[in-house]
Homo-oligomer: A and B are copies of this chain.
Amino acid sequence: MDAAELNEFLAEVFPDGRVSTVEYADGKTTRTRCVYDRKQLRPGGTISGPTMMALADTAVYALVLSAIGRVPLAVTTNLSINFFRKPQPGDLIAEARMLKLGKALAVGDVIIRSDGSDVVAHAVVTYSIPPR
């Protein structure tokens, strides 16, 4: 699936309130943008951790689907994230790369940046791929 197909699919399966957009996808890497929304703020005026976790999760979901096609029931089995800096209000960009693509499991990592700027977090996400 390419970026346009992924966005259409994500809008279909998450009809409520998803604010991430896949900007690029080639089966090995993806770039996903989380559009800023002030509901994402937490005390101190920074973007919340769960916003970044959800972005990392979506970025690797898009990565896996870009590699194997439309498999809605792929599910996250592990997510590990380190937060480095407090992102200022604004869009976040997630750059994901595939580390392993097996039959039953796929693992990708994700670097999250404030748009045009510093690395704010890094995540590793494992998806379980159902038998087809």
Contacts and interface: CB of A to CB of B under 8 A. Distances in A.
Interface of A: 13-14, 16-17, 39, 42-44, 46, 49-50, 53-54, 57, 72-73, 75-86, 99-100, 102, 104-105, 107, 109, 111, 119, 122, 124, 126
Given A13-B42, A99-B122, 5 more contacts: A17-B39, A53-B54, A53-B57, A77-B105, A82-B100
Given A39-B16, A119-B99, A82 B54 contact: no
Contacts of A104: 104
Contacts of A109: 109, 122
Nearest to A125: B49
27 contacts: A13-B42, A13-B43, A14-B42, A17-B39, A44-B72, A44-B75, A46-B75, A49-B76, A50-B53, A53-B54, A53-B57, A75-B83, A77-B82, A77-B105, A78-B82, A78-B83, A79-B80, A79-B81, A80-B81, A80-B124, A82-B107, A82-B124, A84-B107, A99-B111, A100-B122, A109-B109, A122-B124
A126 B53 CA distance: 14
B13 A126 contact: no
Contact of A82 (B39, B57, B99): B99
Q: Shortest 8 CB-CB distances between A and B: which pairs?
A: A50-B54, A80-B80, A43-B72, A84-B100, A53-B53, A49-B76, A16-B39, A13-B43
